[in-house]
A and B are shown apart, each in its own frame.
Chain A
């Protein structure tokens, strides 16, 4: 579509992995490796850098430590947050469990798992058609998928809520079911874009060879193209999971009553409950935090390449 528009940015982006491998060969970083010319030898600049790094960690990472320690602290009500739990206990998680946090967590897992599966299948199929076939209206279809990124749930919330209550033609009420959250997340322009770009770069010779052996389209996609797409699927999978887990408004409007909420939405129920204290809210926050944390730590490389790719697509 707008290939010339993204080219100047792609150059630095693709330069990043290339440089990573270059860095591996050269063990000691040179002075001109960084814009500020940081030196790795101890000295005043080195001390300053260490101090600033500690400050950055304090601002961006330390709050997470306080959340974890607060959730394990005995004092279930109160506001004190610290880095180590006072009298470690699981009481907060027990109370949060009594308030149904694990049911909400189950809703979340079901929605994230099902939503991600549907999203990957739908977007892979669309990307395969866009990358490996030529047909009329291709540019228009690509634009439509890009438009889905510009129509976030916030902007279409009210009419979407009406549509979810009564899906046209079939007339089903999706509210109160996980489908109400999963289906609107199925077509995600970002995944289509990333997978399409990646599939375009797969050499056609591989397919030609398989085609001569009489392989059909679906088997071609499943057995030939998909195994080659693992890096792109990783990117789409991680960002898709984080995007679905981050949903707030959609689970809120797709729910019939609070028992349908996801764990992220249910945090506000815990907070407004006068009988539970900060510790229980923090326990809920930890439960809502851990899955995305695991996904991030396992697949952070894909995530970073994905963000760089997403940035160039706008």
Chain B
């Protein structure tokens, strides 16, 4: 739609036959790869979700059995709870921490730029590497990094990852640590767009810092916040690598999320049909969320 404005009309009319084929030649590699490695697996996943997949014996149509099996399985039900808790906790925690970081590190000074560069490191580090780092930081004995810090405060060592009560929170902390600097960059971009004269005017009116934040800064960066929240929520739903690397879903399934369950079902227990059904459920929820958010965003713009 926007392309109409940028592409001049006359070019369209020249040599119509060749012109019609040309774009498709350029699109072909991308479309082919997307088709074979994205859309075909998606279709296959939906298809397999209706079957009892038995290698060498032939697949058997079971209708919605896989879905009812997955949705009534108590480990999957637990996983829904963990996924939601982890997703919401990581998203909100990441945004609050990102906002605080952005407020702290906003500015043009060279030293601030260097600090921002350093603080951003968790984002460029591969999730698997972050997982290994945090496993060592959470080391359960008193000489682990975090536990030795606690020791300085006179608190005993906590076995973060080995205790079912703390493992999910420990995973969430790592997730927030990875997300916050990423959100910081987006929020910083939003903060840069705030009209400076508003701050000045507010200061002249004797408005408190809190009111200034609440009535000028927050409304100005609301669009940026909306995007950050949506991205985080969608990412939170399909969280896999973080959990898989850090805890593998344990101890006692206390950090099992939807995707680690599906992975175990499909690759360890070879229940391809059930795992496919679980993936399709997740895909539908993700698509639904994305479409709803886009719809709300568009409606908000029209208003």
A186-B30, A248-B127, A296-B124 given; A157·B203 CB < 8 A? no
Q: Identify A267's interface contact among B104, B119, B129, B203, CB under 8 A.
A: B129
Q: Is the CB of A35 within 8 A of B103?
A: yes
User: How far is B111's CA from A53's CA once the two chains are assembled, in angstroms?
Assistant: 10
User: How far is B290's CA from A184's CA once the two chains are assembled, in angstroms?
Assistant: 23
Q: Is the CB of B33 within 8 A of A204?
A: no
Q: Is the CB of A163 within 8 A of B136?
A: no
Q: Is the CB of B6 within 8 A of A148?
A: no
B186 adjacent to chain A (CB < 8 Å): yes
Residues of A within 8 A of B211 (CB): none
B155 adjacent to chain A (CB < 8 Å): no
Residues of B within 8 A of A295 (CB): 124
Q: Is the CB of B279 within 8 A of A155?
A: yes
User: How far is B39's CA from A150's CA once the two chains are assembled, in angstroms?
Assistant: 11
User: How far is B260's CA from A253's CA once the two chains are assembled, in angstroms?
Assistant: 14
B167 adjacent to chain A (CB < 8 Å): no
Q: Is the CB of B36 within 8 A of A7?
A: no
A129-B23, A278-B136 given; A60·B2 CB < 8 A? no
Residues of A within 8 A of B127 (CB): 246, 248, 264
Q: Is the CB of B38 within 8 A of A154?
A: no
Q: Mark A116-156, 1 if CB is under 8 A from B, else 0.
A: 00000111011011111111001101001101101110111
Nearest residue in A to B106 (C-beta to C-beta)? Answer: A34
Q: Is the CB of A12 within 8 A of B190?
A: yes
A281 adjacent to chain B (CB < 8 Å): yes
Q: Mark A15-51, 1 if CB is under 8 A from B, else 0.
A: 1100110011000011111111110100000000100
Q: Is the CB of B136 within 8 A of A79?
A: yes
B81 adjacent to chain A (CB < 8 Å): no
Nearest residue in A to B30 (C-beta to C-beta)? Answer: A126
Q: Is the CB of B290 within 8 A of A150?
A: yes
Q: Identify A288's interface contact among B48, B128, B188, CB under 8 A.
A: B128
Q: Is the CB of A35 within 8 A of B106?
A: yes
B109 adjacent to chain A (CB < 8 Å): yes
Closest A-B pairs by Cβ, 4 of them: A12-B193, A23-B108, A129-B26, A184-B37
| Contacts A/B (CB < 8 Å), 21 sampled | A12-B224, A13-B189, A15-B189, A33-B106, A33-B196, A34-B106, A133-B23, A150-B234, A150-B287, A151-B42, A155-B279, A157-B266, A159-B42, A163-B36, A184-B38, A187-B33, A204-B6, A264-B127, A267-B131, A312-B227, A314-B290
